[in-house]
A and B are shown apart, each in its own frame.
Chain A
Amino acid sequence: METVTPQHFLVLSFLLFSVGFLGVVIRRNLLLVLMSLELMLNGVNVALVSFSRTSLNLDGSLFVFFIMTVAATEVAVGLALLVALYKKRQSVFSEDISLLKN
């Protein structure tokens, strides 16, 4: 029977990252963009955990905690910004917030 090797986890991580990246690039709704960003971060987390497991030390796991903390704060700030933005401009779509362009 086929065993689960670290390569599988890396492929999973790559897929998660790619899905997240695709979401960031093609989604217009900033809420979904934020969610896709979370997905990218978690893809990275999966890779780090698997590295931690293969090399038998806790460095990777430690990084994962940092990333989760940062991600939590980032989401808090990001959502707050988004709410503020919606209150100001009645929209959460990315094409409506290109003030600097012109």
Chain B
Amino acid sequence: METVAFSILLLPLLSALITLLFLRKAGNIASLLSVATSGGILVFALYLIFEGQNEVFTWQTTWMKMSSWELSFGFLIDAPARLLLFVVAFVGFLIHVFSLGYMADDDSKSRYFGGLSIFMFSMIGITLADNLIMIFVFWELVGFSSYLLIAHYFSTDEAAQASKKAFIVNRVGDFGFLIGIVLTYWAFGTVNLYELADLVDFDPSLVTTFLGLALACGFVGKSAQFPLHVWLPDAMAGPTPVSALIHAATMVAAGIYLLLRIDFMFTPQALSLLAILGAGMGLYAGFCALVQRDIKKILAYSTLSQLGYMAAAFGLGMPGIALFHLMTHAFFKALMFLGSGSVIHACHHEQDIFNYGGLRKKMPITAFTFLIGVLAISGVNFLSGYFSKDAILLSAYNFNMPVFVMLYAGAILTALYMFRLYFITFEGESRSENSSHAHENNALMTGPLILLALLSIVGGYHTLFPFAIVESLIPDIERVASMPNHMWMIVLGTFAWILGAITARNFYGRVGKEDPLSSRFPTFFALCDSKLFFDQFYGFYIKRIQDPITRFIEVMELLFISGLLVRGTAGVAGLFALIGKVCYNGKIHAYAFWFVAGTIAFLTYALGVFGN
């Protein structure tokens, strides 16, 4: 088992290394190598999932040892890890294949595919890690590979800025996470997940709300939740398959997975705060998505909103449901991102949806699979999103009414902005030169779309999956199944998507080059478009508050540390040197005089003339 676990971890690293060392100029070979690697990962992942007989597999070894303090390196493959492993390996493989088509005419393929391999390595590391420090190491590595891949088109200012923004904003969250890890080690004496679970089980009073929230900072940064959500929409400057893989299906979902791994560390207060934050994010991101023009930014805000749903599910004490939604979301959101990639590729990198239109006739497969994604995310009955989202809504309805209200409003918004995206992009008439010449992409790109569309349809039927994959979902799904108000929720859920779809149809069915919302409800449009001024606020904070403080500290440093301490001590020594230098006048008489005078001075001192 551990050999396979090591193989799955080191295979992508090896691939990235080979790409770095030998294949920098050979982009085609590098891309094939990377795709083959992801295929190998899929095989190994399936082996790991099915060979363990549904038991928890742990294995660890000492990584480094400092006297009594030991850092271990180990694997913990339990039910949630198996599920995430499946999602990462499977979706990752499809996105690698899609990338072959999407990046076919890119100049720096080896950099792109090497980055993808590094990302797979780090993501699998998070999935398999058995202690918090290891998770943190891989946590930083996914952040790094995300930075690398967002900055793929680094010659554009937008991508360069966005990659920096993503990296720095993530650092803020990771700092809190690091503090949480240190506090955990302080309180428990271990960071091993298994031992931590045992200790908490033994004495639940060890867990504090603050500790849980500090650890959740990692989730807030990586999953782009309030207040660190600002990086994800900008991160769309990267290539579209990267957005699908990292910023929709896997990396941002790793935040939820982290919460799941440490779910015993949360007090009820911390959980309810997470639920409210998540539900608020679900609503807020929905409003932001409603007014975006860039196809990828709409999807990015939609991802934020769906991550909010997962956080809310976790906060309601339903980690299995959160994981369920993570899985279905990974399918339909990867599908829609790849669909948008297909559209962008066909329209020569045009991303404004108001420059599309009428693409359904030109790109039938993309349009049809995209529609399936839209239906799934809107929660249309019996598609994948319906099951996971209704489970979240139902548990919110039964446990926490305010959270339910926000989530339900978010669900209507989701249907609204998703159908808006669909109608504007695929229906009506073509509105620009680029989109009128679009045509369907080749099988490398449509193949993954079709597979993901199939999964988006059936992904909600958890009984269809092998037990080894969905084991972690079943307890919570059964809890939801036994809840009251089922019929009521089906009616409400159906109403939400039908309302959203009809509104979108009426409102956006026939549009020009301008958003009809901006002329009919200008105030509302402006408010949504401002995204509640978070970027401006952070910009203001950094420019007006943080920068002056750093400048003040810099002046203090110049004055006291490098001025007084460093230059000051050097100056004193220099002063003595100046005095000494006067004696070296090159006259032998003076030297003889000082020699004898010095001898006499020492002698008188030794004789005790000056007193002892």
> A interface vs B, CB < 8 Å?
21, 24-27, 33, 94-95, 97-98, 100-102
Determine the chain A residues whose CB is within 8 A of the CB of B585 once the complex forms: 101
Instruction: Give Cα A69–Cα B592 distance, bound, in whole angstroms.
Output: 23
Q: Is the CB of B587 within 8 A of A94?
A: yes
A25–B586 CB distance below 8 A: no
Cα–Cα distance between A24 and B593 once the two chains are bound (Å): 8
Whether a CB of chain A sits under 8 angstroms from the CB of B588 is yes
Residues of B within 8 A of A100 (CB): 586
The contact sample of 22 A-B pairs, CB cut-off 8 A, is A21-B592, A21-B596, A24-B589, A24-B592, A25-B589, A25-B592, A25-B593, A26-B589, A27-B589, A33-B588, A94-B587, A94-B588, A94-B589, A95-B587, A97-B588, A98-B586, A98-B587, A100-B586, A101-B584, A101-B585, A101-B586, A102-B586
Chain B interface mostly? helix
Q: Report the minimum CB–CB distance from A31 to chain B (whole Å).
A: 13
Report the number of A-B residue pairs with Cβ-Cβ less than 8 Å.
22
Complex CA gap A26/B592 in Å reads 10
Q: Which residue of the partner chain A has the closest CB to B595?
A: A24
How far apart sit A98 and B596, CA to CA, in the bound complex (Å)? 20
Interface residues of B in 578-608 (CB under 8 A from A): 584-589, 592-593, 596
Complex-state Cα separation, A97 to B591, whole angstroms: 14
Alpha-carbon distance between A78 and B587 when the two chains are bound, in angstroms:
18
Q: How far is it, in angstroms, between the C-alpha of A85 and the C-alpha of B89 when the chains are bound?
A: 90
By a CB distance below 8 angstroms, the chain B residues around A21 are: 592, 596
Question: In the docked arrangement, what's the CA distance between A59 and B422, Å?
Answer: 117
Q: Which of B585, B592, B593 has the most CB of A within 10 A?
A: B592
Q: B592 — nearest CB in chain A belongs to which residue?
A: A24
Q: Which residue of B lies closest to A27 (CB)?
A: B589
The chain B residue sitting closest to A28, CB to CB, is B589
- Chain B 554-588: CB-based contact to A (< 8 A → 1; otherwise 0): 00000000000000000000000000000011111
Determine how close the nearest CB of chain B comes to the CB of A91; give it in whole angstroms: 14
Expressed in whole angstroms, the Cα–Cα distance for A100 and B587 within the complex equals: 10
Residues on the A chain within 8 Å of B587, using CB: 94-95, 98
State A24–B592 Cα separation when bound (angstroms). 7
| Interchain CA distance A21-B584 in the complex, whole Å | 20
Min CB distance B379 to A, Å, is 92
- Which residues of B from 201 to 244 have beta carbons under 8 Å from A? none
Q: Apart from A25-B593, A101-B584, A101-B586, what are 7 other A-B pairs with CB-CB below 8 Å? A: A21-B592, A21-B596, A25-B592, A94-B587, A95-B587, A100-B586, A102-B586
Closest to A21 in B: B596
Q: Complex: how many Å from CA A27 to CA B589? A: 8
